[in-house]
Amino acid sequence: MLTCKSASYLVSESQDRSLQFFESWGLRMHVWMCINCRRFENQIGQMRHLLRQSGPHDQTGTAHPLSTEAHKRISKVISGQ
């Protein structure tokens, strides 16, 4: 049986790669029994969906880079000024 820590790791990994059969099976069993990991998996899925919708690309797939002003604001916040 997976621990919650292992399950959360596999949920994250499943966003980047296909899980092996036993990883996927173990995760399904754990998520079926653990409400907290089930919520975590749902939250990760919702975030991924929302990020894909609001990402830097429009419906045609064209990228929209940040403006120079946006870069300056972000740099200022990161540097703590």
pLDDT (tens digit per residue) in 2-41: 999 999 999 999 988 999 999 999 999 999 999 999 999 9
Angstrom distance (rounded) from CA 69 to CA 35? 44
Q: Determine if the pTM surpasses 0.85.
A: no
Phi first, then psi, for residue 61 (nearest 5°) are 90, 5
Q: What is the mean pLDDT of the chain?
A: 86
**Sequence ranges of the domains in the chain:** 1-54
**Close Cβ partners of 14 (under 8 Å, ≥ 6 residues apart):** 24, 27
